[in-house]
């Protein structure tokens, strides 16, 4: 008997959301009818989506959410698995779609500088500061060659730890990364606000990098922790 192949998808968008409660109900009802499981966070600053289900149903879900918020073209990380990565469907309203104590807008992240996996590798060859914005546990499971950790318990400590760090040169190129890209959106804004001049982030995060480097030697070493039943990639 063949196992059902599911698609797992993650995407986010910083965009002004006025009526978070109405949006929550509309999205939950639609996804529940499709049999989609996963977690969606909605805040006035945007939406953060992590879902799993049949490939056709996931396609419908992405289209529906995109249309509800007029998101336009967005980057998403997608992969196929032969099990369900989530146990239930949760659509929650939060103060931030990624918690760090800083609300940002679409205008803020429009100033961020992104690198695709190939550009990322090229930059790493030039020996920039490579900064892992994830927590201590994630860093110890796996990271990029020569990456520095801020020894975070949680991402909420990021700004404080950067201020405390004496190892970061504000004039040197700094390459930052996280699992799927969303933490780096806020990390980039924080670093620039603190006076760092040349901040570059890995587009789509580690997941996108690994998807593009499946069969070749890469600069990633170890496992990548993910926030669903897969645990690691």
Q: Out of 52, 178, 184, 224, which one is annotated catalytic?
A: 178
H-run or E-run covering 202 = strand 199-202
By C-alpha distance, which of 231, 209, 204 is closest to 221?
209
Q: In what order do the strands lie in the sheet with 174-177?
A: 114-115, 199-202, 174-177, 129-132, 148-149
Distance CA 143, CA 131 (A): 10
Query: From the CB of residue 145, how many other CB atoms can be counted at a distance below 10 Å?
Result: 10
Cβ contacts of 98 within 8 Å, gap of 6 or more = 12, 41, 48, 155, 182, 183, 185, 186
Structure-token pair, residue 226: 């993910």
Task: Tell me the HSE value of 29 on the side-chain side, using a 13 A CA sphere.
Answer: 6
Distance CA 200, CA 178 (A): 12
Please indicate whether residue 184 is annotated as part of the active site: no
Task: Tell me the HSE value of 160 on the side-chain side, using a 13 A CA sphere.
Answer: 9
Strands 46-54 and 199-202 come out as unpaired
Q: Active-site residue numbers?
A: 178
């Amino acid at each position: 008997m063949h196992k059902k192949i599911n698609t797992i998808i993650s995407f986010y968008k910083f965009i002004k959301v006025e009526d978070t409660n109405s949006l929550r109900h509309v999205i939950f009802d639609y996804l529940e009818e499709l049999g989609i499981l996963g977690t969606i966070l909605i805040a006035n600053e945007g939406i953060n989506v992590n879902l799993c289900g049949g490939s056709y149903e996931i396609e419908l879900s992405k289209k529906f959410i995109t249309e509800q918020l007029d998101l336009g073209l967005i980057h998403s990380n997608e992969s196929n698995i032969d099990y369900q990565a989530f146990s239930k469907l949760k659509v929650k309203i939060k103060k931030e779609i990624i918690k760090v104590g800083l609300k940002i807008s679409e205008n803020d992240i429009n100033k961020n500088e992104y690198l695709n996996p190939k550009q990322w590798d090229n930059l790493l060859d030039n020996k920039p500061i490579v900064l892992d914005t994830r927590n201590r546990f994630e860093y110890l499971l796996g990271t990029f060659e020569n990456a520095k950790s801020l020894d975070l318990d949680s991402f909420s400590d990021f700004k404080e730890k950067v201020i405390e760090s004496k190892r970061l040169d504000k004039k040197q190129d700094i390459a930052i990364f996280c699992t799927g890209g969303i933490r780096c959106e806020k990390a980039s804004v924080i670093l620039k606000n603190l006076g760092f001049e040349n901040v570059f982030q890995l587009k789509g995060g580690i997941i996108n990098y690994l998807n593009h480097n499946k069969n070749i030697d890469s600069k990633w070493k170890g496992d990548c922790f993910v926030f669903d039943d897969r645990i690691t990639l």
